[in-house]
Amino acid sequence: MRDNPVARSYAEALFALGQKTDRHKEFAAALLALGTLLAAEPGIRHFLHSPQLDASAKKAALRNAFAGRTHPLFVNFLMIVLDKRRERILPEIGNEYRALLDEQLGLLNVQVTLAHEPDERAEEEITAELSRILGRTVIAHIQIEPLILGGIIVRYGDRLMDGSLRRKLIRLRASMLGPNVLA
């Protein structure tokens, strides 16, 4: 499920442009650089997000930052985003664009939750097994959550596969105590 359909629409428009010009990776890199810059530099973020500042000043700053570093079509896209006063969702547009590109490349970003930090071999095995099960090349983003006790929780898109020990213990408890007991 998408959090921001407006960001998705902008990403789809840029993606269509990337398909026509075969510049997907360049556009993705530029969006990543912009998102990283906005996350790391509060002053720049404030400058772009400030409603008191004139759009022409923001446009000039972005043109100067990206001119000669990326394709002019990408710079034009940024100008449209500013014209529509959507500069606040630029990081989300970047995330949506990356998801579109990954989908086209057959990649699937998966959030994997484990109770303990895996070693390199275990991480590779998890990724390989998830790729086999899901039928796509998986990019696993592993996070550690000791509360699950053991096992694995996998999230991708709007799907959840909970194979945690905690969940199994809750089910066992419910089956032992009967159907009228809440877990």
Dump pLDDT digits (tens) for 80-130.
Answer: 999 999 999 999 999 899 989 998 888 999 999 999 999 999 999 999 999
pLDDT at 161 over 50: yes
Q: Which domains does the chain have, with CATH numbers?
A: 5-103 (1.10.520.20), 107-177 (no CATH)
Predicted structure pTM score: 0.71
pLDDT tens, residue by residue, 124-134: 999 999 999 99
* Whole-number pLDDT of residue 180: 64
Strands 159-164 and 151-156: antiparallel
CB 181 within 8 A of CB 157: no
